[in-house]
Structure 1
Amino acid sequence: MKAEPIGNGITVYTSEEHRFGTDAFLLTNFSRYKEKDIAVEFGTGCGIIPLLMQKHRPPKLIYALDIQENAIAQLKQGITASQAENIIPICADLRELWENAPSHGVDLVLCNPPYQPTGSGFEASNDSQRIARHGIFCTPSDVCQSAEKLLKFAGRLCICGRPERLPDYICSMRENGIEPKRLQFVSKNAKDRPWLFLLEGRKGGNAFLQMEKPFIMYENGKLTPEADALYTNGKDGK
């Protein structure tokens, strides 16, 4: 296990099974969370997203959920090292409401789900890595059904994923009364095809999808100002 300081006194503990990448920074930024929010993250892994939220302007409360005990153990180390008392680690299956879950009382649900459907691509022999990379316990339907149970009216679900999975998430959101409201694609360079989507849905929202300006990571071999801000102040300038 490795301790990785990310600034402002916040430390994330990573391992071979539970690490983080750029997508966590992108999703945290895209979510536009507020300090008064009660938030839940599905599949927290090492806890990078709640710890990033803690770094910049902490929400009122963050429930960080993962089905894997080793992931929650890592997160607990990060919580202790960072003195992040408003992060509540929960070892549970997202498909079932845990004891004392804030049913219909949550402002924001975030999820950086496994990018591969079960049975597709190469599946790692390591159980932890297989669960993290393939939708064994975390399908689009699982995410949206569980989010609907937790979100208050007008609460938001923010997710990221590979562009080829976007139709699955749009359909699952609508099937569960969560209307897709905001969509942004992320590309490495301006000429490249997107490698990631960021999607926000609102529970009980009216049908209207706002397309955000594409997020470009690099220009002339250097991080764009927007991408650089992900790793500094975590804001997109809006």
Structure 2
Amino acid sequence: MQELVFSQFKQGYRYNSDSLLLFDFVLKQKLKGRLLDMGCGCGIIGLMLKAFVPQIKLVLLDIVEQNCALARKNADQNELEAEVLCVDFKEFMQRQAFDIIVSNPPFYSLKAMRSQDEHKNMAKFQDSLSLKDFIHQASLALKPQGKLYFCYEALALAKIVQCLSEFKLNLSQIQSVHKSKDDKARLLLIEARKSSKAPCAFLAPFCMYENGILSPQMKALQANIRIKSNDI
């Protein structure tokens, strides 16, 4: 695959390892049909998936106009086809249901340190989109048997399972992410299916570091990604 170039704001929310971990998790699945990247930011997750799986029909959605403009710029400069929508996901009325929704939603609690930059806060904190609202709207936007992929803080597992069940989504795959094998999980990578009764697969944990250096898992992830970032 060619190197992808992603412009992102020097000041404001920037993609991070969570975005790359979620991309790697989703890419291992069978992707087809219409895919929505909800809260796309600069568009990195959706556009990388489009680059690897050209046949998907990609829609990028964000509530922040500047992010949508940035996502369009990144789609154009990488010659990747995507529809970009600027709308609040809680108010999103889909014209056609999606086969797949991918999202790195805001999951920091209100107790966490907030930034002076409101764009960062909207991307990071639950008050801009609660877990319940996110899962409810995702369920409405998915086709029957459609799949939702997202990452969330590990401490919220019980609430995640409760919300998925409430809105007829079945937890079908889960992978915990750890800084190292001796650390508690900090992040969960989740697949949920709409109107499904499939059993849940617990995947082997993903450890980012081993003996103070990048783990083989993390090195393999990075080797599969060819991206360059430009600050604007």
Q: Same fold (TM over 0.5)?
A: yes
User: In the alignment, what sits opposite 2:186?
Assistant: 195
Provide the secondary structure at the position in 2 that maps to 1:195: strand
Q: How far 1:37 sits from its partner (Å)?
A: 2.7
In the alignment, the residues of structure 2 paired with residue 211 and residue 183 of structure 1 have an alpha-carbon distance, to the nearest angstrom, of 5
Following TM superposition, where does structure 1 have runs of at least 4 consecutive aligned residues deviating by more than 6 angstroms? none
Provide the secondary structure at the position in 1 that maps to 2:185: coil
In the alignment, the residues of structure 2 paired with residue 224 and residue 172 of structure 1 have an alpha-carbon distance, to the nearest angstrom, of 33
Contact kept? 1:110, 1:157, Cα under 8 Å: yes
2:45 to 44, 49, 52: 49
TM-score (norm 1): 0.87
1:80-119 residue pairs with structure 2 within 5 A? 80-85=76-81, 87-98=82-93, 101-103=95-97, 106-117=98-109, 119=110
Contact kept? 2:107, 2:131, Cα under 8 Å: no
1:145 to 125, 130, 136: 136
CA RMSD of aligned residues (A): 1.8
Q: 1:70-91 deviations in whole A, cap 9, x for unaligned?
A: 1111111101110111x21110
Higher relative contact order (CA 8 A, sep 6+): 2
Number of residue pairs aligned between Structure 1 and Structure 2? 223
CA gap 1:59/1:93 in 2 versus in 1, 3 angstroms? farther
In the alignment, the residues of structure 2 paired with residue 166 and residue 12 of structure 1 have an alpha-carbon distance, to the nearest angstrom, of 32
User: In the alignment, what sits opposite 1:3?
Assistant: none
User: In the alignment, what sits opposite 1:11?
Assistant: 5
Q: How far 1:35 sits from its partner (Å)?
A: 4.8
Q: How far 1:102 sits from its partner (Å)?
A: 1.6
Provide the secondary structure at the position in 2 that maps to 1:95: helix
Contact kept? 1:189, 1:217, Cα under 8 Å: yes
CA gap 1:179/1:139 in 2 versus in 1, 3 angstroms? same
In the alignment, the residues of structure 1 paired with residue 155 and residue 120 of structure 2 have an alpha-carbon distance, to the nearest angstrom, of 21
Contact kept? 1:18, 1:71, Cα under 8 Å: no
